Amino acid sequence: METKNTQKVSTKPNPLRLIRKLKKNTMGASPTYRAEDLLTDDRFLEWIHSNKQQHDKYWQDRLYDEPSLRTAFDQATQIAQALSVKKKVINTSNALAKLEAKINSPTKPTPQPLQIKWSNYLKIAATIVLLLSLSWSFWPQKQSFQTAFGELQIVTLPDATEVTLRANSKLWWNGDWKKSKKRIVYLEGEAYFDVRPTKELKNKRPFVVKAMPLEVEVLGTEFNIVNRPNRTNIVLVEGKVAVITGDQQQQLKPQQQYAWNTTEKSGTIQTVNTELFTDWQQHIWHFNNTSLAEVALLLEQHFGKKVFFHNPLLKDQKLNGTAPSSSLETLLNGIASSLNISITNQSDRIIIGN
């Protein structure tokens, strides 16, 4: 574990932010998939409607090799499953059969080869139009994402906003974003938001994150929100946000944190090193004079194991430095060696001290 004795705000670039900016500004770096692409794929439709096991390995391999396919795959699966259970959903095959019968009806001239080909194009076009409308109708209405203990997940919202969900966190929204005056999402846990400065903001359709009791109105920005039972705060990396509590509203500047005090029902703003609050996306945890009691709570929230102290006096020991968190065992070894204490990792709990 690397120790740090200064609280100076760092000015070095955050590698994750540089990667994000490169991704924003690079065209064609990776393929962009849409749900409708999969819904016109025969192998995907066979996987949905017939024997899924027959194509399981194919799709597992595709998702492993092409992570960017995941969002479109989940959307297409949801749409296809919704179509299969809705009683009044249009039967695509019947609709297309009727369209073909009408085109080939006796009252019309005998179709030439070119006309027969054109009817096929009409069928394809009708299918695509239907699928496009269904994909918009089903997906944005209501959606939720939940991460497990020890899991990170990247979610792309309908307006291209990218959200990185930390472990044991939930993000959801209700209603049709296309019709609502505000784009509202709800958060329990912790997440990093990269809100794209799209025409939606220019058209004064605010993006709002509700992390009760706080609301954050976004004006095109990157920020981190924590909404846990023991703490609620917002750290602004770049751009502008307005933090709303009741009838009060305060704007944050980049490199500022808004911390909510649950007991006093008030918030404070201070300048911080944003990397201390956002590097969890790279599986790095920072400790800045952090008590072992606070560390124990972080471990419980992130890994889902109950932490016990063999000696209660250890709770007040302070920890400084950084440690990798992708492996719980490595993280615990780093904490133990830094404080010269013993930590035992059992199947359902962590014991600190002998």
pLDDT tens digit at each of 354 positions of the chain: 544 433 333 334 444 444 454 444 443 445 567 766 676 676 777 776 665 555 677 777 778 778 878 887 877 776 665 554 333 334 444 544 554 555 555 544 444 443 434 445 445 555 554 554 444 344 445 688 999 999 999 998 877 889 999 999 999 988 766 677 788 899 999 999 998 766 655 566 788 999 988 899 887 689 999 999 888 999 999 988 999 888 788 899 999 999 998 888 888 999 999 999 999 999 999 998 999 999 999 999 999 999 999 989 999 999 998 888 888 998 999 899 888 899 999 988 999 987
Rounded to 5, what percent of the chain is helix, strand, coil?
Answer: 40, 30, 30
Three-state DSSP class for residue 37: helix
Three-state DSSP class for residue 33: coil
Q: What is the DSSP letter of 128?
A: H
Kindly report the pTM of this predicted structure: 0.58
What tokens appear for 73 in the block? 């795959």
What structural domains does the chain harbor? 31-138 (no CATH), 142-277 (2.60.120.1440), 283-352 (3.55.50.30)
Within 13 A of 223's CA, how many CA atoms are on the CB side?
29
